[in-house]
């Protein structure tokens, strides 16, 4: 079998169908973010109780884009400083390491506010996925929030 007879390997289904791969290299991006939403959030109290500064905040009515409607409620968000190329499990573990000592406080916030852990996955590979070890699910069960992942494939 000559080199020209060897089947070409493709990284994406689109590449296999078109017979050529996109010019950009494959990437996989992950994140895990604590999000707290509601009216009249006590921003300073949350930061003080959790011992971290938020990585994002916005107030109800703030504009989040020139063509977007205003935010419907306040938000306090924290995301650990980890490279997005690290696996999702590492993002979840890093977030849980910060939050675990404050689980009771976070559960109490749920009486008045919406609390969740947002997980995200982005890639340009259209046939890949994520794996999350069972140990990562402790955060979701302890905080009594759903485990969900937003997946964006470009």
Tell me if 87 is assigned to some domain: yes
Strand order in the sheet with 74-78: 56-58, 74-78, 28-38, 114-123, 149-153
Q: Chain-wide mean pLDDT for the chain?
A: 89
Domain count of the chain? Answer: 1
Q: Which helix (H) or strand (E) holds 36?
A: strand 28-38
Instruction: Give the predicted TM-score (pTM) of the model.
Output: 0.83
Instruction: Give domain status of residue 2, yes or no.
Output: no
CA-CA distance, 113 to 41, in Å (whole number)?
8
DSSP 8-class letter at 53:
-
| Residue with token string 């573990």 | 93
Q: How far apart are CA 92 and CA 144, in angstroms?
A: 15
- What does the pLDDT average to over 51-62? 95
Q: What is the pLDDT of residue 58?
A: 94
Residue 66 clears pLDDT 80, i.e. is over it: yes
pLDDT at 21 over 70: no
Residue 11 lies in a domain: no
Domain limits at 90?
26-153
Q: Comparing C-alpha atoms, which of 38, 43, 30 is closest to residue 132?
A: 30
In a domain? residue 76: yes
Does position 11 have pLDDT exceeding 70, yes or no? Answer: no
Domain-embedded: residue 3: no
Tell me the C-alpha distance between 90 and 94, whole Å. Answer: 6
**15 within a domain of the structure (yes/no):** no
Q: Cα(150)–Cα(25) distance, rounded to whole angstroms?
A: 22
The single residue listed with the structure tokens 């994520």 is: 130
- 87-135 pLDDT, tens per residue? 999 999 999 999 999 999 999 999 999 999 999 999 988 777 888 999 9
């Amino acid at each position: 079998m000559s080199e020209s007879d060897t089947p070409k390997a493709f990284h994406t289904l689109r590449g296999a169908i078109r017979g050529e791969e996109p010019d950009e290299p494959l990437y996989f991006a992950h994140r895990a973010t604590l999000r707290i939403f509601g009216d009249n959030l006590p921003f300073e109290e949350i930061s003080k109780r959790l011992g971290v500064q938020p990585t994002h905040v916005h107030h109800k009515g703030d504009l989040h884009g020139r063509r977007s409607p205003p935010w419907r409620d306040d938000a306090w968000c924290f995301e650990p400083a980890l490279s997005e190329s690290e696996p999702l499990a590492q993002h979840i573990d890093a977030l849980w390491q910060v939050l675990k000592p404050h689980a009771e406080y976070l559960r109490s916030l749920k009486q008045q506010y919406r609390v969740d852990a947002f997980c995200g996955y982005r890639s340009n590979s259209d046939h890949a996925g994520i794996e999350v070890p069972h140990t990562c699910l402790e955060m979701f069960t302890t905080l009594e929030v759903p485990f969900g992942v937003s997946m964006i494939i470009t």
